[in-house]
Amino acid sequence: MLTERASGILLHPTSLPGAFGAGDFGTDAYKFVDWLVSAGQTYWQILPLGEIGHGNSPYMGMSAFAGNILLIDLAELSGHGWLSSEDLMPHPDFQPGRVNFTLVRPFRTERLRRAARNFFASGHDDMHRSYTEFCIAESEWLEDYALFMTIAQHESWREWSRWPKALAHREPQALRLMEKNCADEVNFWKFCQWCFSRQWSNLRLYANQHGVRIIGDVPIFVAYQSADVWSHQELFELDENGRPSVVAGVPPDYFSETGQLWGNPLYRWDIHENNGYAWWIARLRHALQLADLVRIDHFRGFVAYWEVPADARNAINGKWVPGPGEKLFEAFIKAFPHLPIIAEDLGLITPDVFELRDKFNLPGMRILQFAFAEGEENYFLPHNYVPNTIAYTGTHDNDTILGWWNTLSDKERAFAKHYLHSDGDKIQWDMMRAISSSVANMVIFPMQDVLGLSSNHRMNFPGQSSGSWEWRFSWDQVQPRHTQALAKMSLEYIRISIQPHTQLHQDA
């Protein structure tokens, strides 16, 4: 339950500035924390930090536990002597405003490989000891992940069910032979996860020391092409060939007339229940090592989820199937007495979803962009909020406020102007002020809305297979007026916290 009023910014680390084609855990991330403090913000909300897969989506990761290696700060590796100054020369085609994953992925991966070779050839006992300790502490998931990535690389990234049967079915002798013959590759993936963990832990510690807390994000489903499905096939709805028999999606909604066919394999919840939801508890425990609290995406799927035949072309002809409901959250409560979870309770919501959310005192979400299609009774209008709520102008799935404003009907625009007492000239600030002045204990603003950016800068286009997850900002877009206006708003609506008197990051 949320009990303190606060404000925060939604920005994924890949959207940060930086020299190597995408944002990462380097100096610009520390500078962003410093900016949050100066702007009176208490929370930094991010998207999933996991290893990205198909479509570069952080919601389709190749592991529910491993971090995205593209976020590793290369300059920090150079500081240890594992990369040279020549390695840090940026690609000439990198763009400051977009992530070109086609360029970024090979550029960064090659430099990580060079760093790994130099690390394992070095004699730095303290760092080698740290690496070994990490591998032991995280072995429960790390061993399977590193082997999965090694085999996937060897098999040209074919789906795991199309690997040689002995590997796809995880025959112990075949796995041991692969691990022995490809030891350097296995160690490379472990090295990357150690670097990710070290750097993110330091960044999160810096944020916490300056009064900024991290809101993480846990997708309800995992990708089929993932270490999790390959290593825990019994937990998912798969056929005798290891292929999904049914997949996840959502029915037709605000975002798509044909629904959204996500394609993730679905859980065998009976098996999860029989083993005490051990995999889910381990997953949430790991997520809470990365963040102070976590948003669980598609919370309604725990009550009922949209099951679609695996061979369907869209999500129209699916059906609702009951989820684990209270049983899963009772298991969570036993493992985490103070459950730091945010319920993403958006979409086609039925009363039983709210009942599950409220039984465990989980904060839900309100999106102001959804508020103006109906009348005063609209659930998303600020006067209908309750304190245990997180209010957003929009999320990563929405258009920016300016883009949204330009597509409204005349009726919706007139209602919004009337409700917000706005002439529409600075609609993003009028909307930010509306939720900030509400009773919702937490409000979150996408960075694009703070900067007043158009639709060209939105983060995700639900239902589209390409063009998402690429947006980045630059520091010259962040003006003193943005910082001052946010700080003033937080102060005016009692959302600013007293920050520790600690020195800000010197490199920022």
What residues are labeled active site?
297, 344, 397
- Residue 72: which of 185, 197, 204 has the closest Cα? 197
**What is the token pair recorded at 131?**
């690496």
Q: State the DSSP string of 313-368.
A: SSSTT-EEEE--THHHHHHHHHH-SS--EEE---SS--HHHHHHHHHTT--EEEEG
- Residue 389: which of 278, 305, 316, 295 has the closest Cα? 295
Pairing of strands 389-392, 364-367: parallel
How many Cβ atoms sit within 10 Å of the Cβ of residue 483? 17
Residue 181 half-sphere exposure, CB side, CA atoms within 13 Å? 9
**What is the token pair recorded at 72?**
């590793």
Output the CA torsion sign for 454, 459, 463, 466. positive
Question: To 10 degrees, the CA torsion angle through 357, 358, 361, 367?
Answer: 60
Give CA 239 to chain center in angstroms.
Answer: 29
Residue 154 half-sphere exposure, CB side, CA atoms within 13 Å? 18
Residue 8 to residues 15, 299, 489, Cα–Cα distance (Å): 16, 21, 12
- Rounded to a whole number of angstroms, the distance between the first and last alpha carbons of the chain is 34
- Walk across the sheet containing 213-219 and list its strands: 341-343, 293-297, 213-219, 43-45, 6-10, 442-446, 389-392, 364-367
Distance CA 478, CA 450 (A): 9
**What is the token pair recorded at 90?**
């940026």
